[in-house]
Amino acid sequence: MSFEVNGMKAFEVDDYYTIVAHNAEEAIKLHIKVNEADPEEIHVDEINPKNSYMFVSINDIPSERLKELLEKGTETKVWEGDSCILISKAEAMQYRNATSPYVLSVSSDLL
């Protein structure tokens, strides 16, 4: 199940946030720092980002890949005036290509 970019994996830290980190402890620390989360309420699960999807700005997708996605009829949506397209969280991790922990996605239920 493990999928990594730069040695980092994707973790769901609650029902709303997906954090990319080297390990679960790092994901928890970032979630507490960024969201002032209560450590007692955090549940961390490593996810397979190939099987989980998110909308990203079309500006963050390489033009050839964007063309391919649009030709396939991939779902698009306008979010706060920005045109977005649905991709796997694994693909989003590859585009981000970070080496430090970060918040990959936040459920639209919170926004």
pLDDT in tens, 45-93: 999 999 999 999 999 999 999 999 999 999 999 988 999 999 999 999 9
Backbone φ and ψ for 33, nearest 5 degrees, come out as -65, -50
Domain boundaries, the chain: 9-110
Query: From the centroid of its chain, how far is CA 92?
Result: 6
pLDDT in tens, 2-11: 788 889 999 9
